Amino acid sequence: MWGLIRPPMVCGELIEKGGSLMSKRRHSFIYMALSIFLILNLMGCTIILQKGRRSDLERIDELSDQLDQLRQTKRLLEQRLKQEIADKQVSLKMAEKGLVITFLAEVLFDSGKAKVRPEAFSALDKVTRVLTENIPDMEIGIEGHTDSQRIRFSGWKSNWELSSARAMGVLHYLVDKRGIDPARVSAIGYGQYRPVASNDTAEGRQLNRRVEIVILPRVAKSKVSEEKDKIAEEIEENLK
**Domain containing residue 129: CATH number:** 3.30.1330.60
CA distance 12 to 55: 34
- Tell me the pLDDT band of 147, cut-offs 50, 70 and 90: very high
Residues 197 and 80 in one domain: yes
CA–chain centroid gap for 62, Å, is: 16
Residues 51 and 107 in one domain: no
Average pLDDT of the chain is: 80
- Range with the poorest average pLDDT among 114-118, 146-150, 152-156: 152-156
For residues 126 and 174, the answer to whether their CB atoms sit within 8 Å is no
Residues 140 and 39 in one domain: no
Quick: pLDDT tens for 78-101.
999 999 999 999 999 999 899 999
Residues 38 and 65 in one domain: no
Residues 42 and 74 in one domain: no
Residues 44 and 11 in one domain: yes
Residues 103 and 208 in one domain: yes
Residues 168 and 178 in one domain: yes
Quick: pLDDT tens for 12-60.
443 444 444 445 555 555 555 555 554 545 444 444 444 455 566 776 7
The pTM of this model reads: 0.69
Residues 203 and 94 in one domain: yes
Residues 96 and 210 in one domain: yes
pLDDT at 115: 97
Residue 49 sits in which domain range? 2-57+224-238
Position 155 pLDDT exceeds 80:
yes
CA dihedral sign of residues 41, 43, 48, 51: positive
- Tell me the pLDDT band of 240, cut-offs 50, 70 and 90: low
For residues 165 and 156, the answer to whether their CB atoms sit within 8 Å is yes
Name every residue whose Cβ is closer than 8 Å to that of residue 78 and which is 6 or more positions away in sequence: 85, 92
CA distance 19 to 44: 30
CA distance 149 to 151: 7
Residues 173 and 228 in one domain: no
Residues 31 and 119 in one domain: no
- Higher local confidence (pLDDT), 131 or 235: 131
Quick: pLDDT tens for 185-201.
999 999 999 999 999 99
For residues 99 and 214, the answer to whether their CB atoms sit within 8 Å is yes
- Tell me the pLDDT band of 152, cut-offs 50, 70 and 90: confident
Domains identified in the chain, total number? 2
- Higher local confidence (pLDDT), 20 or 165: 165
Position 118 pLDDT exceeds 50:
yes
CA dihedral 158, 163, 164, 165 (to 10 degrees): 90
CA distance 29 to 156: 58
Q: What percent of the chain clears pLDDT 70, i.e. is strictly above it?
A: 67
